Chains A and B, each alone.
Chain A
Amino acid sequence: MEYAVTIDKLSKDFGRFRAVDEISLTVQKGEIFGFLGANGAGKTTAIRMLCGLLLPTSGLGTVNGFDIFKESEKIKKSIGYMSQKFSLYSDLTGRENLEFYGSIYHIPNGRLKERIAELARNLDIEEFIDRKAESLPTGWRQRLALAASLLHRPPILFLDEPTGGVDPVFRRRFWEILYRLADEGVTLFVTTHYMDEAEFCRRISIMHRGRIVEIGNPQELIKKHHQPDLQELFINLISKSEQNV
Chain B
Amino acid sequence: MNLVEVTNLSKSYGVMKAVDDFNLTAIKGEILALVGPDGAGKTSIFRAICGLITLDSGEIKVSGFNVATEFDRIKPHLGYMPQSFSLYPDLSVEENLYFYAGLFGLNRAQFQEKKKRLYEFSGLGQFYDRRAGALSGGMKQKLALSCALIHDPQVLMLDEPTTGVDPLSRRQFWDILKDLRRGGSGIVVSTPYMDEVALSDRAIFIFGGRKLAEGTPAELAGIFRGKAYRVAVDPTFNCMEQLCRIDGLQARRFGSTVHIYTKENDALENYYPALAEIGIKPEIITPIQPELEDTFIQLMGK
What residues make up the interface of A, taking CB atoms closer than 8 Å to B? 37-41, 84, 137-139, 161, 164-173, 175-176, 179-180, 182-183, 193-196, 199-200, 218-219, 229-231, 234-235, 238-239
Chain B: CB-nearest residue to A182: B237
Partner of A196, one of B38, B237, B255, B300: B255
Q: How far is the CB of A234 from chain B (nearest CB, A)?
A: 5
Q: Are A179 and B237 in contact (CB-based, < 8 A)?
A: yes
The contact size tier of chain B is 35 or more
Query: Quick one: given A168-B192, A179-B240, A219-B256, are A38 and B168 in contact (CB under 8 Å)?
Result: yes
A138-B38, A196-B255, A235-B171 given; name 9 further pairs at CB < 8 Å.
Answer: A38-B169, A39-B139, A165-B160, A170-B38, A175-B253, A193-B166, A194-B193, A229-B255, A235-B168
> CB-CB < 8 A to B95: which residues of A?
none
Query: CA A138 – CA B253 in complex, angstroms?
Result: 23
Chain A: CB-nearest residue to B36: A167
Q: Are B167 and A235 in contact (CB-based, < 8 A)?
A: yes
Q: Are A169 and B300 in contact (CB-based, < 8 A)?
A: yes
The answer to whether the Cβ of B1 comes within 8 Å of any Cβ in the partner chain is no
Chain B: CB-nearest residue to A84: B164
Q: Are A195 and B167 in contact (CB-based, < 8 A)?
A: yes
> CB-CB < 8 A to A167: which residues of B?
35-38, 40, 192
Chain B 271-302: CB-based contact to A (< 8 A → 1; otherwise 0): 00000000000000000000001001100101
Which of chain B's residues 150-206 have a Cβ closer than 8 Å to chain A? 160, 163-171, 192-195
A-B interface, 9 closest residue pairs, ranked by CB to CB distance from nearest:
A40-B136, A39-B137, A199-B255, A137-B38, A39-B136, A167-B37, A137-B39, A183-B237, A165-B163
The contact sample of 27 A-B pairs, CB cut-off 8 A, is A38-B136, A38-B166, A39-B136, A41-B166, A137-B39, A164-B164, A165-B83, A165-B163, A165-B164, A167-B38, A167-B40, A168-B194, A169-B296, A172-B297, A175-B253, A183-B237, A193-B165, A196-B254, A196-B255, A199-B256, A200-B253, A231-B195, A234-B167, A234-B168, A238-B166, A238-B167, A239-B168
Chain A: CB-nearest residue to B167: A234
> CB-CB < 8 A to B166: which residues of A?
37-39, 41, 193, 234, 238
> CB-CB < 8 A to A173: which residues of B?
302
Query: CA A137 – CA B171 in complex, angstroms?
Result: 28
Q: How far is the CB of B141 from chain A (nearest CB, A)?
A: 9
> CB-CB < 8 A to B29: which residues of A?
none
Query: Quick one: given A39-B136, A139-B38, are A168 and B168 in contact (CB under 8 Å)?
Result: no
Chain B: CB-nearest residue to A161: B164
Query: CA A39 – CA B167 in complex, angstroms?
Result: 9
> CB-CB < 8 A to A231: which residues of B?
167, 195
Chain B: CB-nearest residue to A41: B166
> CB-CB < 8 A to A180: which residues of B?
237
What residues make up the interface of B, taking CB atoms closer than 8 Å to A? 35-40, 83, 136-139, 160, 163-171, 192-195, 237-238, 240, 252-256, 293, 296-297, 300, 302
- Dominant SS at the A interface? helix
Q: How far is the CB of A100 from chain B (nearest CB, A)?
A: 24
- Dominant SS at the B interface? mixed
> CB-CB < 8 A to A37: which residues of B?
166
Q: Are B38 and A168 in contact (CB-based, < 8 A)?
A: no
Chain B: CB-nearest residue to A199: B255
Q: How far is the CB of A78 from chain B (nearest CB, A)?
A: 24
Q: How far is the CB of A15 from chain B (nearest CB, A)?
A: 13
> CB-CB < 8 A to A179: which residues of B?
237, 240, 253
Query: CA A39 – CA B102 in complex, angstroms?
Result: 30
Query: CA A229 – CA B38 in complex, angstroms?
Result: 28
Query: CA A164 – CA B165 in complex, angstroms?
Result: 9
Partner of B37, one of A38, A139, A218: A139
Query: CA A79 – CA B35 in complex, angstroms?
Result: 35
Query: CA A77 – CA B255 in complex, angstroms?
Result: 33
Query: CA A230 – CA B35 in complex, angstroms?
Result: 23
> CB-CB < 8 A to A195: which residues of B?
167
> CB-CB < 8 A to A234: which residues of B?
166-168
Q: How far is the CB of A237 from chain B (nearest CB, A)?
A: 9
Central interface residue in A164, A168, A171, by most chain B CB within 10 Å: A168
Q: How far is the CB of B203 from chain A (nearest CB, A)?
A: 13
Partner of A172, one of B136, B137, B252, B256: B252
> CB-CB < 8 A to A182: which residues of B?
237
Q: Are B237 and A238 in contact (CB-based, < 8 A)?
A: no
> CB-CB < 8 A to A172: which residues of B?
252-253, 297
